[in-house]
Structures are given as C-alpha cells and as structure tokens.
C-alpha cells in the first residue's frame, strides 16, 4: 500500500465535495489512482478528456506513482 495525496480541481472538486484527500492505495500508475478515486466518488468521467500531474509535473496516465506522491486530477480543461 502507498500513501497518496489526491487533489481535485474544478468539476472534480465539486463532485467529490473536497479539494484534497490522503489515501492508502494499492496502486502502480496514475491511471490506477484515477480509477480508485472514480470508484470512491462515483464518477463516470472518461479518462481520455482528463489530465494528470504528479508532484506538480504533467504526467501520462501510465506514469508510476510512489509512496508519498501527490497526484493532481484535472477534469477537461477550457482556457481562453
């Protein structure tokens, strides 16, 4: 098990009802973290439109997460 801090933004934060939580998760990749939190909060957002960052660096969904990492989950962006 790894201790992972997950941060939610915009629609994800509103859906989860919180901006951040620290969880004990049996995960390998950023995608695993997303799937765990989707199950936890009942989200059906497709991954393809979302982005992820690990410790303030943009990452791919296949990137590995380590014990103590902070994973930032970004819903579909819309700047401009």
Partner 1 sequence: MFAVSSSAITVGELRAHLTNPGSGGVCIFEGWVRDENEGRTVLRLEYEVYDPLAIAEGEKVIAEAGQKFPFLEATCVHRSGLLEIGDCAVWVGVSAKHRDEAFKACRYIIDEIKVRLPIWKKEHYADGDSGWVVCERCANVRHG
d(CA 34, CA 30): 6
> Measured from the CB atom, is 69 or 75 closer to partner 1?
75
> Measured from the CB atom, is 68 or 76 closer to partner 1?
76
**Span 29-48, contacts to partner 1 by CB under 8 A:** 48
CA atoms within 13 A on the CB side of 71: 34
Ranges of beta strands (E only) in 1-79 are 2-8, 20-25, 51-54, 57-59, 70-74
Is residue 6 close enough to count as binding partner 1 by CB under 8 A?
no
Residues that bind partner 1 (CB under 8 A): 9-11, 48-49, 51, 53, 56, 58-60, 72, 74-80
């Amino acid at each position: 098990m790894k201790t992972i801090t997950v941060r939610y933004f915009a629609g994800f934060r509103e859906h989860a009802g919180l901006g951040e939580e620290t969880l004990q998760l049996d995960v390998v990749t950023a995608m695993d973290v997303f799937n765990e939190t989707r199950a936890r909060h009942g989200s059906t957002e497709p991954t393809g439109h979302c982005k992820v960052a690990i410790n303030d660096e943009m990452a791919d969904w296949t990137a590995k997460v380590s014990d103590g990492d902070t994973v930032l989950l970004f819903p579909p962006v819309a700047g401009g």
